[in-house]
Amino acid sequence: MNKNMLICGGGIGGLATALAAARAGWNAELLEQSPVFGEVGAGIQLGPNVVRVLQGLGVGDALRRVAAFPERLEVRNATSTELLGVLPLGKTAEQRYGAPYVSIARADMHSLLLDAVRAQGGVGLHLDSRVIAISQDAQRVQVQTVQDHSFEAPLLVGADGLWSQVRKQVLEHDVAPRVTGHLAFRAMLPQSELPPSLRSQVVTAWMGPDFHAVHYPVRGGEWLNVVCIVHGTVSGDPQSWDHSANANELRSRMALARGTLHDLIHSINSWRLWPLSDRAPMASAAEHAKGRIALLGDAAHPMRPYLAQGAGMAIEDAAALAQCIRETPEQVAPALSRFAQMRWQRNARVQARAIRNGEIYHLKGLRQLGRDIALKLLGPKLMDVPWLYKGP
């Protein structure tokens, strides 16, 4: 029995797929277009739903060594600084959902998965291997890289992100990702570089008119990750999505911020800027798989970061895919069809909820007032997401 697969993309989703597949008894060849393994971005949050999956993949101890485990989530009004609601995390989340809530540097998440893949074995890692051609027939999938290297296997997984090349094989008449009109300014720095009053060991979300900000600890609490989302666009190629940012531009766009948020923004001089793009929520299982090719993570369902589940859904996808091919390894296409049916509705729901959250975060006027009153009255109930954290 040929239990081999190809994985296009060596980010968090691709590495999670390689690890899950190897633990399910499959061999993989992972093709990464960059000349080195690495992960762009700053920090990510992992809900209990994702942490449970990572524990099942055997990386729970590694996660505990490098992540932070915030005790609560605070929501504040960015212009008045008023505390609107608090959601207990820490032991409360662990007791309720069977796993803690975690915040981690994206590079640390990537590194621990890469280390686990290398330790697991059964995975060939190929750098500088951009895929330029893909074909499939009833028995196999073939890919060719820019260096004219060829690979074939019964199964191909597209984990190659928002601008996926593999996606074109699954959705023949697909359209380009849509520009959201939101810009993300991100920074990550040692907390020792900040005044004591600006250091934090909790997740804090600040909601303002047409902007919001989130900051949380990473790297065992020694570093702070900060992301500010504002309305706007930038010129240039949307695929060149990582830019250096002018700190004064951010301060101008968030001039209404007050209190600790204002001081934090003015204490950080180095920012990276990402124009955010996404796709509409998934409409059917056909967007996840076709024949012997499956898509996962941003290749299938890119989402806005307002539910903090982009990386999490890719990791959930990886575990679900491994489960399906473990159950029927000799029937790849039916296994991928089952995977698609398992995943598409949950991913669509997360995509839709993330879009809705972004609208709520940026309210102004009377609608902002209504939001704030609702949070003060029903904070934990509105902030918790049981259907998400109890899954998949």
**Distance between CA 263 and CA 258 in Å, rounded?**
8
**Distance between CA 353 and CA 364 in Å, rounded?**
19
**Distance between CA 89 and CA 95 in Å, rounded?**
10
Q: Of 273, 215, 271, which Cα lies nearest the Cα of 247?
A: 271
Residue 392: asked if its preceding bond is cis (omega within 30°), the reply is: yes
Contact between residue 61 and residue 112 where contact means Cβ atoms under 8 Å apart: no
**Distance between CA 180 and CA 359 in Å, rounded?**
12
Q: Of 341, 350, 346, 348, which Cα lies nearest the Cα of 294?
A: 341
Task: Please give the structure tokens belonging to residue 183.
Answer: 């810009």
The residue count of the chain comes to 392
- Cα-flanking dihedrals φ and ψ of residue 32, to 5°? -115, 130
Domains of the chain: 4-39+110-176+280-358 (3.50.50.60)
* Opening angle at CA 228, ends 226 and 232, nearest 5: 155
pLDDT for the residue numbered 329: 85
Contact between residue 161 and residue 257 where contact means Cβ atoms under 8 Å apart: no
Contact between residue 46 and residue 203 where contact means Cβ atoms under 8 Å apart: no
Q: Are strands 4-8 and 72-77 parallel, antiparallel or unpaired?
A: unpaired
Q: What residue has token string 């893949």?
A: 117
Task: Per-residue pLDDT tens, the chain, 392 aa: give them.
Answer: 789 999 999 999 999 999 999 999 999 999 999 988 877 678 999 999 999 999 999 999 999 999 999 999 999 999 999 999 999 999 999 999 999 999 999 999 999 999 999 999 999 999 999 999 999 998 999 999 998 899 999 999 999 999 999 999 999 889 999 999 999 999 999 999 999 999 999 999 999 999 999 999 999 999 999 999 999 987 766 565 556 778 999 999 999 999 999 999 999 999 999 899 999 999 999 999 999 999 999 999 999 999 999 999 999 999 999 999 999 888 999 999 999 999 999 999 999 999 999 999 999 999 999 999 999 999 999 999 999 999 88
Count other C-beta atoms under 10 Å from residue 195's C-beta. Answer: 10
Distance of CA 75 to the CA centre of its chain: 21
- 3-state SS string for the chain: CCCEEEEECCCHHHHHHHHHHHHCCCEEEEECCCCCCCCCCCEEEECHHHHHHHHHCCCHHHHHHHCECCCEEEEEECCCCCEEEEEECHHHHHHHHCCCCEEEEHHHHHHHHHHHHHHHCCEEEECCCCEEEEEECCCCEEEEECCCCEEEECCEEECCCCCCCCHHHHCCCCCCCEEEEEEEEEEEEEHHHCCHHHCCCCEEEEEECCEEEEEEEEHHHCEEEEEEEEECCCCCCCCCCCEEECHHHHHHHCCCCCHHHHHHHHHCCCEEEEEEEECCCCCCHHHCEECCEEECHHHCCCCCHHHCCHHHHHHHHHHHHHHHHHHCCCCHHHHHHHHHHHHHHHHHHHHHHHHHHHHHHCCCHHHHHHHHHHHHHHHHHHHCCHHHHCCC
CA distances from 206 to 97, 148, 193, 334 (A): 26, 50, 22, 45
**Distance between CA 111 and CA 212 in Å, rounded?**
29
